Structure 1
């Protein structure tokens, strides 16, 4: 992203009076009508309460197939019940992320579920240069109210490749 583009993104995010025409304002409390994550799989660890649960809920609302997990089955059951009560179809499983066997079981939950398995799960870098429209999505996100709590951060858009900033 060029210096000019970074400045425009900064102006767009921080100075509402400089918001360019055509940038849609959307708050995180708004109901999302576009299912921009349709066909994507999201495994959210530690997702049965607080920020993790809010992330799982938002990803599911945006159309992703979400799997929630926690160390305790009762927490998983409570989170699944909460999300199901909001008409979100979200399975869950126990997983202590520090336990190698439980991490394997978490991935097995995904690969054994035909619907999730058919969507594909990529854990490897893309090994290609990004296209301009792929970088534009990050800039659009940073201009939106969804990024209202992000300040002074470096967002790397590199397709999983190592970056050297």
Structure 2
């Protein structure tokens, strides 16, 4: 068994602050991204979740990203009216209606990712190399944190 050092609340606070700060610096919020209609950060987050798991219901998406189901449903309704998502049968273990991205949404999400990538490329290469090596761990952490019940 590998012994691990306890992680202090202060260390977790610093890590969370760094993640939030980075997210805000690369987020296209309030900026025009060429080829993309102005999407809110919430819409981008919902689109990303649907892209990651097509067929997800509003309830599933809301649970994963920590928003109220009613807010996610309203966002999905807007995205559907703009032809960015379409209704599909939900996963077999879910009841109801699931959603998937349309080709338009795939293109716009690709443009948002490209924009974020360009923002990150302004950092020193050695720093990016060190951080990118841990992208899979950060993705797993994001899934685990979203799976935790909120208080």
TM-score, length-scaled by structure 1: 0.31
TM-score, length-scaled by structure 2: 0.33
Q: Which has the higher contact order (CA 8 A, sep 6+)?
A: 2
Per residue, is there more helix in 1 or in 2?
2
Q: Which has the larger radius of gyration?
A: 1
